[in-house]
Amino acid sequence: MSDPAAPDDLTRLGARLDEAKARLVPDPKRVAAAALGSGFRLGLELVSGVLVGAFVGWWLDRWLHTSPAMLLVCFFLGLAAGFLNLMRAVKREQAAVDARKLSEHPQG
């Protein structure tokens, strides 16, 4: 430790380590905000399928006087459609993430 440059080198190394760590481990607040956003987006995909299904069922019931058969059937079809929406949205996001990763690390 007689070398006066050593502590300076160490702090510089520390700064570089922090920088590298920040690159690998993103800011948790940012991750939380992004997760909240995608959670809301994906939740909406599921809910909209159920809502539209239930609405179609209710409308068919009123038209055909079959209450509540069509509402029940279409509710569950809507649930399936919601999950289909959800799966497609996740696939779309995954494709976007993959494309971004590929452009950042072309060999990996």
Question: Rounded to whole angstroms, how far apart are CA atoms 70 and 2?
Answer: 85
Q: Which of residues 21-40 bind another protein (CB under 8 A)?
A: 33, 40
- Contact with another protein (CB under 8 A) among 64, 80, 97, 102: 80
Answer yes or no: are the C-beta atoms of 66 and 102 closer than 8 Å.
no
Binder to another protein among 12, 62, 92, 100 (CB under 8 A)? 92
CB of residue 14 to another protein, shortest distance in Å: 28
Which member of 20, 31, 84, 90 binds another protein (CB under 8 A)? 84
Spatial separation of the C-alpha atoms in residues 94 and 56, rounded to whole Å: 31
Is 61 near another protein (CB under 8 A)?
Answer: no
Q: Is 60 a residue that touches another protein (CB under 8 A)?
A: no
Q: Which two tokens stand for residue 106?
A: 């072309």
Burial status of residue 49 (CB atoms within 10 A of its CB: 0-12, 13-18, 19 or more): buried
Integer Cα distance of 46 and 60 in angstroms: 22
Q: Point out which residues bind another protein (CB under 8 A).
A: 33, 40-41, 44-45, 48-49, 51-53, 56, 74, 77-78, 80-82, 84-85, 92
